[in-house]
Amino acid sequence: MMAVTHVAIALAGSVCITGSADPRVLLLAGIGSQIPDLDTTKSWVGLAFFPLARFIEERYPHRSVTHSICLSLAIALLTLPVLFLYGWQLWLAMPLGHLLSCFSDCFTRLGCQFFWPINKDIWVGGLNPRNRLQTGKPGEYAVLASAVCIFCIAFYVVTGGGGVHQWVTQVLFPTPQTAVELLRQENQKAIAIKVEGNRKVDGSLVNEIFWAIAANGSMITAKSATGEILRVGEAGEISPKRVDVLADRLPIKIKRQQIEEAEAESWINSLSNDSLIVGTLQLEDAADLELPLPKPGRMQTVNRSVDGVVLDHASKQDLRSLDEFFILSGEVIIKQL
């Protein structure tokens, strides 16, 4: 097959299987698709790496050692650290691109030794040689066109229907607005985001992964790995320079609750430790309420209102300042991650 056909098949397969349109995933899948042709100096990749290609060509038959699923597994093992550092999608891309390229060569007239060195038989798809693909012939161009179509459709679906413009926005020039739009699309799910920027309180650098749990305008409400609730945005606790949307999602259990003159301490104790409360509460003797100051750089989740408090993703611990008020009423939304 032609190099461009291998690349098209690898890109289409990687987007469909990994569900990612990350340019790094696409690049690695494309590179993986060219590795099989390192066994000949006639290919463009063989010319680019001529000494290596000549070394392999002089010692192994064409479509043997570099066209084997065993090499795909070897690539996966050698790149295993990528799995733990950057996630499974980036790790899988190159061995997947290589495997798809080898598998597609099984449908050409020459076939390949797909299980070399375990089995050195040449594997060829299709019993009728006339129906097998030939390099540069109409059959291959049909496969190329089909792969491009599949890639375009999968790309459109993965990027949320926004095509190239949305992909460029999300992947190459990510902003908080990208995460905001995805939060509105995702139903009851927290979205993993990687934020690079500065903390407003002291100007310290931020390069962390958060769970985006809500959006208000262009502002993202996020939960840190330590459980802190922060706002990411120009008016928030973190001023972002870059916000990358990651693949991970976390279900959010949401329950709406109407409170009618409940004992404050009992109601607070009934909440689970991972609850985040949004809503308003009316308190008896609200004028006597004294709210503690939040820690520097942390979002104020409990705010005073005329007759009580407004809660913005307040934790169970944040509500302890209300324990002394015997009766409370209101309507709240309880979120659990």
* Contacts of 305 by beta carbon, 8 Å cutoff, 6+ apart: 280, 286
Burial classification of residue 158, based on how many CB atoms lie within 10 Å of its CB (0-12 exposed, 13-18 middle, 19 or more buried): middle
User: Taking a C-beta distance cutoff of 8 angstroms, is the pair 47, 40 a contact?
Assistant: no
Domain annotation covers residue 186: yes
Q: Which CATH number characterizes residue 219's domain?
A: 2.30.30.690
Domain extent for 259: 253-336
Q: Give the integer Cα–Cα distance in Å for 87 and 49.
A: 29
φ, ψ for residue 306, nearest 5 deg: -60, -45
User: Is residue 112 located within the same domain as residue 193?
Assistant: no
User: Is residue 88 located within the same domain as residue 155?
Assistant: yes
Q: Give the integer Cα–Cα distance in Å for 333 and 184.
A: 17
User: Is residue 308 located within the same domain as residue 232?
Assistant: no
User: Taking a C-beta distance cutoff of 8 angstroms, is the pair 257, 334 a contact?
Assistant: yes
User: Is residue 7 located within the same domain as residue 96?
Assistant: yes
Strand partners, 93: none
* Contacts of 139 by beta carbon, 8 Å cutoff, 6+ apart: 133
User: Taking a C-beta distance cutoff of 8 angstroms, is the pair 218, 176 a contact?
Assistant: yes
Q: Render pLDDT for 222-244 as a digit per residue (tens, 0 to 9).
A: 999 888 899 988 888 998 888 88
User: Is residue 317 located within the same domain as residue 272?
Assistant: yes
User: Is residue 120 located within the same domain as residue 263?
Assistant: no
φ, ψ for residue 17, nearest 5 deg: -80, -45
User: Is residue 154 located within the same domain as residue 82?
Assistant: yes
Give the strand order in the sheet containing 253-263. 253-263, 327-336, 275-283, 308-314, 302-304
Q: Render pLDDT for 91-111 as a digit per residue (tens, 0 to 9).
A: 999 999 999 999 988 888 788
Strand partners, 239: 198
Q: Give the integer Cα–Cα distance in Å for 226 and 203.
A: 20
Among candidate residues 117, 104, 85, the one with its CA nearest the CA of residue 34:
104
Domain annotation covers residue 59: yes
222, 251, 280 — which closes off a domain?
251
Domain annotation covers residue 168: no
pLDDT along the chain (337 residues), means of 10: 89 87 88 91 88 90 89 93 86 93 86 87 71 78 90 74 51 57 69 88 90 85 90 88 82 90 87 91 80 80 88 89 79 90
Domain annotation covers residue 169: no
Q: Give the integer Cα–Cα distance in Å for 57 and 38.
A: 8
pLDDT value at residue 85: 83
For residue 238, the one-letter residue type is I
User: Is residue 31 located within the same domain as residue 159?
Assistant: yes
User: Is residue 38 located within the same domain as residue 87?
Assistant: yes
User: Is residue 150 located within the same domain as residue 104?
Assistant: yes
pLDDT value at residue 175: 54
Number of domains in the chain: 3
Helix, strand, coil shares, percent, the chain, to 5:
45, 25, 30
pLDDT value at residue 7: 92
User: Taking a C-beta distance cutoff of 8 angstroms, is the pair 71, 64 a contact?
Assistant: no
